Amino acid sequence: MKPETPDHSRSPESNDPASTPKHEATERGWHAKTPGADNAARTAADRVGQWFAPLLQRLMQWLSPLLQRVQNAPAVRRLRERVAPHVPESVKRAPRLRSVQVGAGIAAVGVVGLIIGGVAGGNDEHDVEEAAVAAPMQQAAAPQPAAPQAVEQKKADPPQTRAETKSEAETKSEEPKQDAPVGPPIEGIDVSNHNGSIDWKKVAADNKKFTFVLASDGTDFSNPKYSEQYHGAKDAGLIAGAYHFARPDDSDGATQANRFLDIIDYKNDGKTLPPVLDLEVDPNGGSCYGKSVDQMHQWTKSFNDTVKQRTGKDPIIYANPSFWKQCMGSTDTFKDHDLWLAAYEVDSPTVPKGFQDWDFWQYTDKGKVAGISGNTDINQYKEGFERLKQLAS
């Protein structure tokens, strides 16, 4: 409904014979020429009026108590007092045709229906008063019944907007993190106490982007050079990580993991790679530390779970194909961990069964790098520097 559009009740001048004498004369002339048609029309109108008048009278009698209550309401009186001064005198005195009066009666019933609906919907006297105050008053302009609905709509909008905003926020938070672009492979190194003091600025200038530093070995050994090497590398701009050499025959996985984590000073600062579990055969006998495959699985899981609990990161697993087959039974239990694969003097390493691919590849233990005296291990990260930074975040 568009209340701004004039209807019969809003523009009585267009149907007022007193205001249009020319039309009145024309109509009189036409009636004088066609008395039969005029009498027939009047007879039909009288019949309609005789049928409709009792119905309208009963309807008005039924609505009279409610109309009286509405008219006596303080808010309605105040609204009437605000509107009355702005209604032109010509509108107040203008006569109505019977058809216009009937139309006005029907319109009044419709307005009363809107008021009843508003009351049933929970609108109280305060809402009516608020709508009356908010309605703009213009000279010779009729009041607009749609104003209370507009106010109600305005009140209803903000909660919906907040809900939509919350929904958008939840949707954004649930979106998966986008992977960084894959770039060309980059190189890094890994060092231990055997490498001594290192000039990390020269290492960085030699285009090495990352390093792994030995922190602990088994239950008893800690790298005395760890802090110097690890923090020196980060200070020079390299991305650094720490690794633990596992000795499953010394103590359980959780014990060694906690000791390792107490040493490494792990921080999720965007420059630190996930902790590394270095799994190799027993240096003293080449065996699996006297453990069965299932026992090795349990030991490894205990270590990894402890690291995940304390850092929120899954450890990187260092291994070679022969160890993974011999001691781990080619399990795929740890397939979601990043794999640091050791394989020397080959053009392309063989990925152990149980992993889809390698992430880091230690391809030599006889590398020459500026800033390090003697040989050192050199590694390659397959997916480029941007992915490496993402792994460290």
**Which residues carry out catalysis?**
190, 278, 280
**Residues paired with residue 245 on neighbouring β-strands, in sequence order:** 217, 278
**Residues paired with residue 381 on neighbouring β-strands, in sequence order:** 186, 360
Helices in the chain by DSSP H: which ranges? 21-33, 35-72, 74-83, 89-93, 98-120, 125-134, 147-174, 200-205, 226-235, 253-264, 293-311, 321-328, 385-391
Other beta carbons within 10 Å of 314: 16
Q: Distance between CA 343 and CA 364 in Å, rounded?
A: 8
Q: By 3-state DSSP, what share of the chain in percent is helix, strand and coil, each rounded to 5? A: 50, 10, 35
Q: First vs last Cα of the chain: how many Å apart?
A: 59
Q: Distance between CA 382 and CA 376 in Å, rounded?
A: 20
Angle, in degrees to the nearest 10, between helices 74-83 and 35-72? 130
Q: Distance between CA 226 and CA 263 in Å, rounded?
A: 9
Q: Distance between CA 24 and CA 295 in Å, rounded?
A: 111
Close Cβ partners of 389 (under 8 Å, ≥ 6 residues apart)? 180, 239, 270
Q: Distance between CA 382 and CA 316 in Å, rounded?
A: 14
Other beta carbons within 10 Å of 58: 10
Other beta carbons within 10 Å of 258: 15
